[in-house]
Structure 1
Amino acid sequence: MSPKDRFLTVYGRKPVLEALQDPALEVDKVILADTARGPAAAEIERAARDAGVAVARASPHRVKVLAGNGKQDQGVLADVVVPRMRPLDAALDSRTAPARVLLLDGITTPANVGMILRTATAAGIGGVVVPRRGVAALDPLVVKASAGVAFRAPVLRCGTAGQAAEQLTAAGYGLYALGASARDTVFGVELPSRAAFVLGGETAGVSPEVAEQVTTWLSVPMPGEVESLNVSAAAAVLCFELVRREL
């Protein structure tokens, strides 16, 4: 399993320190830039020592590469274990494959990704597919938007949304996508035992490579004079409709 499918990397002094001081989180390691000195670095090293976490030193360039954000890493990062994160193919091959999953397709705003992770986790959704490409990176901005729930969200990783759609279809999932003009609604459609719901990007919507694999398009009825909902709001409507069906 790739480290990217086990850890959520946070960077910056405050996020790293908060992760080290949170007893509910397991931090695998901390990496400090060789040039990181002074009270802030000392505080991080002290917190890591108290938590029993190893601290490694690396060049500032290496820290920037590992963090994936050269402007905001502040010379430090930490790999935090996300116990429910795993590769999509591993989830689909298991005996406990989730019955309901969300597939993020081109959602690039970290706040939306974070809020969707929080909502889906609250609703008990079995998995949220977050592709490594084409979707906002799982970083401190996503963690902040999720109010920390991203660390325990059921994240499923894959390469692209198109690949995920293929895998889900091959595994017997009906593939549903949200679209404002769809005749079927999230409240009226009959669902199979396995269903995946595509949430398209803020501007372009569902990508062509995913759209061609969609089984059914669904809408959220809106009698008011509004064309569409923010994707995270639409996800919330969908998630709690799924909860309602199980009550």
Structure 2
Amino acid sequence: MEISPKDRFVTVYGRKPVLEALDDARLEVDKVLLAEGARGPAAKEILDAASRRGVRVQRATAQRVKVLAGNGRHDQGVLADVVAPRMLPLAHALEHRPARILLLDGITTPANVGMILRTATAAGMDGIVVPRRGVASIDPLVVKASAGVAFRAPVLKCATAGEAAAELTAAGYPVYALDAGARETIFSADLPERAVYVLGSETDGISDDVRPHVTGWLSIPMAAGVESLNVASAAAVLCFEVVRRHG
């Protein structure tokens, strides 16, 4: 199966994030795209940093850079494609039957997505489904919140959370969703070794497209009248419990 460039790279934009990527010897930068009108000390700094790393620099119109960055205000006329070695299309990853998968559904705050990527990777989850639509894209804000872990997280790409849930169900995975009102908890439920766990948005919860595919609902027990946890905190509790059970 051929992998699209969009499913191989994390694209960072803006002078500082691009320079940070070029200065990090642990990262493989595929290319830098610089607006044709970019001149002066800032452009020279980027060109020099790319030259030191042997990274090719392509010129493009400012509009082209904006389109590829997906951000019309903060790209500053430059972006870089950083190789994400563990990023794969969901369909491709399923050929290898990953066991523990996290599915993000409607989480639009970059800080939450970044922290979830860091936590899930640290816990040892086998895949984190980050849909292209409906979830904050992996941009410099997400990378910063993940403390750089987003570059090496086991990210699985797909179009929407609903499509991912359908694809995973068809592949034989039970789908469990977190909900504060669920009677069964993540500590008491009998969870199989191979399963999908869905985290919904804090405002709307699990989306209508994902709900029909949910096998079971799970909660995190709360004490002292606390209603719920921030979604990134809930992800941490969930991921480490799942990995603790199945090693």
Partner of 1:43: 45
Partner of 1:160: 160
Provide the C-alpha distance between the structure 1 equivalents of 2:246 and 2:95, rounded to a whole number of angstroms: 25
**Structure 2: unaligned runs, 5 residues or longer:** none
Q: How many positions carry a matched residue from both structures?
A: 245
Mapping 1:169-180, distance limit 5 Å: 169-180=169-180
Partner of 1:73: 75
Give 1:147 shift.
0.2
Identity %: 72
Aligned residue type for 1:226: V
Provide the C-alpha distance between the structure 2 equivalents of 1:134 and 1:243, rounded to a whole number of angstroms: 27
Query: Is structure 2 residue 94 aligned with structure 1 residue 85?
Result: no
Provide the C-alpha distance between the structure 1 equivalents of 2:4 and 2:132, rounded to a whole number of angstroms: 12
Residue 21 of structure 2 aligns to a residue whose secondary structure is: helix
Give 1:202 shift.
2.1
Give 1:244 shift.
2.1
Provide the C-alpha distance between the structure 1 equivalents of 2:192 and 2:154, rounded to a whole number of angstroms: 21
8 Å contact kept, 2:118–2:153:
yes
Residue 73 of structure 1 aligns to a residue whose secondary structure is: coil
Residue 210 of structure 2 aligns to a residue whose secondary structure is: helix
8 Å contact kept, 1:108–1:202:
no
Partner of 2:227: 227
Provide the C-alpha distance between the structure 1 equivalents of 2:188 and 2:232, rounded to a whole number of angstroms: 21
Provide the C-alpha distance between the structure 1 equivalents of 2:212 and 2:43, rounded to a whole number of angstroms: 50
Give 1:246 shift.
3.6
Provide the C-alpha distance between the structure 2 equivalents of 1:104 and 1:91, rounded to a whole number of angstroms: 16
8 Å contact kept, 1:102–1:127:
yes
**Structure 1: unaligned runs, 5 residues or longer:** none
| Aligned-residue RMSD, C-alpha | 0.8
Partner of 1:150: 150
8 Å contact kept, 2:193–2:246:
no
Residue 129 of structure 1 aligns to a residue whose secondary structure is: strand
Partner of 1:106: 106
